[in-house]
Amino acid sequence: MIGKKLGGRYEILDRVGGGGMAVVYKAKDNLLDRIIAVKILRPQYAIDDDFVHRFRREAQAAASLSHPNIVSIYDVGVEEDTHYIIMEYVEGNTLKEYINENAPLATDEAIKIAKQIAEALEHAHFNQIIHRDIKPHNILVGQNKRVKVTDFGIARAVTSATITHTGSVIGSVHYFSPEQARGGMTGEKSDIYSLGIVLYEMLTGELPFSGESPISVALKHLQESYTEPRALNPRIPQSVENIILRCLAKDPTQRYPSAKVLIRDLDTCLHTDRLTEDKYTVDQGDDEEATKVVPVVREDMYETKVHRNQKDEEEEDEEEWEEKRKKKPFWVKFLIFLAVFVIVVFGLYQVAAKLLYVPDVVVENVTNKPLEEAIAILEAQGLRVDYSRELPSDEVEEGYIISQVPVPDATVKKETFVRLTVSTGKDKEKMPPVEAMAEETALRILTRAGFSTENIQIERESHPSVQKGFVIKQEPAADEFVIIDDTKVVLIISEGKPTFGMPRLIGKSRDEAESLLQSNNLVLEKVEEDFSDAPIGTVYRQHPVEPHEQVAEGTPIRIWVSKVLRKPSVKSRRTLLSF
């Protein structure tokens, strides 16, 4: 596709990404002279009418939306079985890539991103469009941190508060709502649930539900609880965790009623008076997914059948009836079969239980212990250890355990994974660059960054090229990660060019003076000749510095060279003799 031109104006430049249904290219609109994005339906789906209709529906749905947090749609077309959509090009990465590089995100940054997504959803919902596939892969983060929601490929305009799609469940299994997993009706609150998972992932770096197959993940959305965010990242304020808990309520009626209400909560969740608010609890109510008790089958349920059998038997001849009476009734045979079956199953269960039994283990507390010691303790209990998660901590020393999941004293089966969060020590900041800056400017930048004046050491030395009073070198180096409170900063300040004693030129011949200046890297700026009492051709004066004063390399020097005195005239001699 690279180099191909669509619609006579859209020139394909490069591939930038793709999904299961389409591929996205960077292109140039030659008519308007601007960079755009082109989404092209994969060839294998171009012959599928269902996919083509869904692809076109993306353009129709998204084109009606105009919002700074939604990728704009400019054009749609088809050319030789190539179906394409022309969209706004966003320079940056997907939110998924941003999370992979930076998770867990700072709380205020995650809230800002979530708010922009919610504002995009509010606009879409107002226009009766449900996205149904909110996930970090469909959210772009521009260079100015502007968030834009894209890929309305499975969105669909609705005339009421819900949306359905017969015969399929559309969406990404890790992010879709329980009602999507159930294949039921989805609406605005499904998007809110998905946004809650995105916020969970931004703040913890983890997904609430994972499994070996899409079906297992979908069942967890329906039936299982998840590890609460603050158990994975204790730095999350309670007010922010409450937002996630409410978004991820399995019952849609307990979620936020709209994206607008969610935005109001995001606006205030970091206010000081809310940071320690009470924890939000979800009312479980009558859980449709809970195990149901099957009612006991009573004899009166068979009453109709018994009457029917009696009627049939009365119609048979008496001899045949007597023969049947001598035979064992069917229900007796059934009970015998059932008893044998139960005994066999019970026996097999006992054998299997002994073979498959996994003993319980009470998880030991390994917090505040070195990583190696913690691993040894847990593995000795028959548990498996995951220690890939790392977080900074002001209280826990580097290489020691901050927290563990499951928590200490929890009862689990052997071979269960225990996830450890390992401290990376105190939070580290990038060392600001101050080289080649004036001393006062460098000190001001360092103190603003948090370095105390007691931890800043000044050393001075001469330098052939760095101006006096400017920083020659800094330690630690720029952009090196350091702990501000524990780091001593050394600044080497230039004293200017190195100096030395000015050589004595007076009394030397002009050639000797020039040679001496050249050997000392001094510049002979000017030579003046004048009458003096000094021997002819010798230096009798030098400027601007006197002999033995300090001078730097490259300093311009002027010298005066003596020339012969003129003989006085006869008149002048007579005047002198008269004295």
* DSSP state letters, 538-577: BEEEEESS-TTSEEETT-EEEEEEEEPPPPPPHHHHHHHH
Q: Which CATH architecture has domain 1-89?
A: 2-Layer Sandwich (3.30)
d(CA 109, CA 231) in angstroms, rounded, equals: 20
Q: What percent of the chain has pLDDT over 90?
A: 40
pLDDT (tens digit per residue) in 250-298: 999 999 999 999 999 999 999 999 998 999 987 654 444 443 333 333 3
What is the mean predicted confidence (pLDDT) over 50-67?
75
Q: Of 526 and 348, which is predicted with more confidence? A: 526
104-113, 123-132, 187-196, 355-364: segment of lowest average pLDDT:
355-364
Provide DSSP, 160-197.
Answer: SSEE--TT---S-TTT--HHHHTT--EEHHHHHHHHHH
Averaged pLDDT, 127-149: 89
Asked if 87 and 150 touch (Cβ cutoff 8 Å), the reply is yes
Does CATH place domain 360-423 in 3.30.10.20?
yes
**Distance (Å) of CA 476 to CA 24, 209, 490:** 44, 43, 7
Q: State the CB neighbour count (10 A cutoff) for residue 393.
A: 20
Residue 431 has what pLDDT? 92
Q: Which of 147-161, 241-255, 307-321 has the lowest mean pLDDT?
A: 307-321
Give, in degrees to the nearest 5, the angle at Cα 413 between 411 and 419: 80
Secondary-structure percent of the chain, ordered helix, strand, coil, rounded to 5: 35, 25, 40
Contacts of 331 (CB under 8 A, 6+ apart): none
Percent of the chain with pLDDT over 70: 82
pLDDT at 444: 92
More confident residue, 193 or 392: 193
Lowest model confidence (mean pLDDT) among 298-312, 329-343, 485-499: 298-312
Quick check: 280 and 245 in contact, CB under 8 A? yes
Distance between CA atoms of residues 252 and 246, nearest Å: 10
Write out the H or E segment, with its range, that includes residue 356: helix 330-356
DSSP notation for 444-484: HHHHHTT--GGGEEEEEE--SSSPTTBEEEEESPTT-EE-G
State residue 251's pLDDT score. Answer: 92
The pLDDT, as a whole number, for residue 157 is 36
Mean pLDDT of the chain: 81
Domain range list for the chain: 1-89, 94-282, 308-356, 360-423, 429-494, 503-563
pLDDT at 475: 93
Tell me the average pLDDT across 138-164. Answer: 66
> Half-sphere exposure of residue 350, counting CA atoms within 13 Å on the CB side?
5
Q: Give the pLDDT of residue 160.
A: 30
| Average confidence (pLDDT) over 67-85 | 88
Handedness of CA 480, 483, 484, 489 (dihedral sign): negative
- 416, 383 in Cβ contact below 8 A? yes
pLDDT for residue 352 = 66
Q: What is the CATH number of domain 94-282?
A: 1.10.510.10
pLDDT at 371 over 60: yes
Identify the bridge partners of residue 457 per DSSP, sorted by sequence position.
Answer: 490
> Given pLDDT bands bounded at 50, 70 and 90, which one contains residue 168?
very low
| Residue tagged 């359905």 (tokens) | 164
Q: Is 58 left (phi over 0), alpha (psi -120 to 50) or beta?
A: alpha
Whether 317 shows a pLDDT value over 70: the answer reads no
What is the maximum alpha-carbon separation in the chain? 191
Catalytic residues: 133
- pLDDT attached to residue 575: 46
In angstroms, the CA 484 to CA 491 distance is 15
The two tokens of residue 20 are: 């299961």
Q: With 90 as the cut, is the pLDDT of residue 141 above it?
A: yes
Give me the pLDDT at residue 549, please: 82
Position 153 confidence tier, pLDDT thresholds 50, 70, 90: low
Provide the β-strand partners of residue 501.
550
The answer to whether 95 touches 195, Cβ cutoff 8 Å, is no
Nearest Cα neighbor of 528 from 551, 558, 567, 489 is: 558
What are the residues whose beta carbons fall under 8 Å from the beta carbon of 142, sequence distance 6 or more? Answer: 90, 91, 92, 148
pLDDT of the residue at 364: 92
Q: How confident is the model at residue 326 (pLDDT cuts 50, 70, 90)?
A: low
Tell me the average pLDDT across 485-510.
Answer: 88
Spatial distance between the Cα atoms of 500 and 291, rounded to a whole number of angstroms: 94
**Torsion angle in degrees (nearest 10) through CA of 554, 555, 556, 560:** -120
pLDDT of residue 310: 39
Name the region of 263 (left: φ>0; alpha: ψ -120 to 50; beta: rest).
alpha
Q: How long a stretch of residues is the chain?
A: 579
Q: How many Å from the N-terminal Cα to the C-terminal Cα in the chain?
A: 111
More confident residue, 413 or 351: 413
Rg (CA), the chain: 43
Mean pLDDT of 158-174: 45
- Is the fold of 360-423 the same as that of 503-563? yes
pLDDT at 355: 60
522 near 548, Cβ under 8 Å?
no
Choice between 287 and 364, residue whose per-residue pLDDT is larger: 364
pLDDT band for 155, please (50, 70, 90 cuts). very low
Q: pTM score, two decimals?
A: 0.50
Q: Is the pLDDT of residue 28 over 90?
A: yes
CATH topology of domain 429-494: Trypsin Inhibitor V; Chain A (3.30.10)
| Residue pLDDT, tens place only, 98-130 | 999 998 999 999 999 999 999 999 999 998 888
Tell me the CATH number of domain 503-563, given options 3.60.110.10, 3.30.10.20, 3.40.1360.10, 3.40.50.2300: 3.30.10.20
pLDDT digits (tens, 9 = 90+) for 440-470: 999 999 998 889 989 999 999 888 888 889 9
Tell me the per-residue pLDDT of 379-419, one tens digit each, with 9 for 90 and over: 999 999 988 888 888 888 889 999 988 888 888 888 888 98
Confidence of residue 576 (pLDDT cuts 50, 70, 90): very low
At 329, the pLDDT band (50, 70, 90 cuts) reads low
